[in-house]
Amino acid sequence: MYDLNSEFKDKVCLITGGSSGIGRGIAIDFGKAGAKVIVADIQEKSKIGKYHDTDIKTTTSEEIKKNGGISEFFECDCSDEKSINGLISHIENKYGKLDILVNNAGMHIPGTIEDISVKEWDKVVNLNLRGIFLLSKKSIGMLKQSKSGRIINIASIHAFHGVLGPAYAPSKSAVVNLTKNIAITLGKYNITANCICPGYIETPIQDYNTQKEISDYKKTLPLNRFGKPSDIANAVLFFASNKSDWITGAYLIVDGGDSAS
């Protein structure tokens, strides 16, 4: 756990998809560590799930402020270039820099290559992959000013095997490769880029599963529990910290042993 006197104090941190799920957990922990947290999402209200996050009563920024941190919400469709331009301009005008970019926004539409529409495929890929490309590209100038900029992308263990739909898994696989490309290109500016590949995390994005499927899947995990957003936040804060200064272009699987079993 990082405290308010940590290295993150007063650093400017952008979390996309920060209103709920993994992004909410990451944003709250950065707030506790003293960072100035910009929560970017298509809506501010946290998503209430059928099985997880069923009793959230505060927005992410409200929760950060309640804990004594600094945060604001900015409405942004992270698949839309115009919306991203507005977000980047806001950060430049208000903060003048960006130290940490966490590309977390993502989505999944169930289906197979036989039944998913081209429009649905584009929707998933545009958010999961194109959005990361655009946000990373347009943040380079501010990350350079940081002198030690950090880009952390959220992929998935499904990046490594072709399940969970013809759009989601390929988009997450591409995120891992894009992260490596960003790391190679931006290393000369002392900007690192790394990737987290979560397994099953207790968030509303899992609502497409039935309760029985969730229960059966849990029994297959070596650690016999699902991950929590805080498990991913711990990994993200590590990649954002000076403890990872010589790590770039890497991916870290955080899945409770799922991919090993």
Rounded Cα distance between 38 and 17, Å, is 11
Side-chain half-sphere of 58: how many Cα atoms within 13 Å? Answer: 11
Contacts of 64 (CB under 8 A, 6+ apart): 27, 28, 31, 32, 37, 70, 71
Contacts of 137 (CB under 8 A, 6+ apart): none
Torsion from C-alpha of 54, 25, 65, 91, nearest 10 degrees: -120
Rounded Cα distance between 76 and 138, Å, is 14
Catalytic residues: 168
**How many residues in total does the chain contain?**
261
Tell me, what amino acid is at 80?
A: D
Burial of 224 (0-12, 13-18, 19+ CB in 10 A): exposed
Beta bridge partners of 101: 14, 151
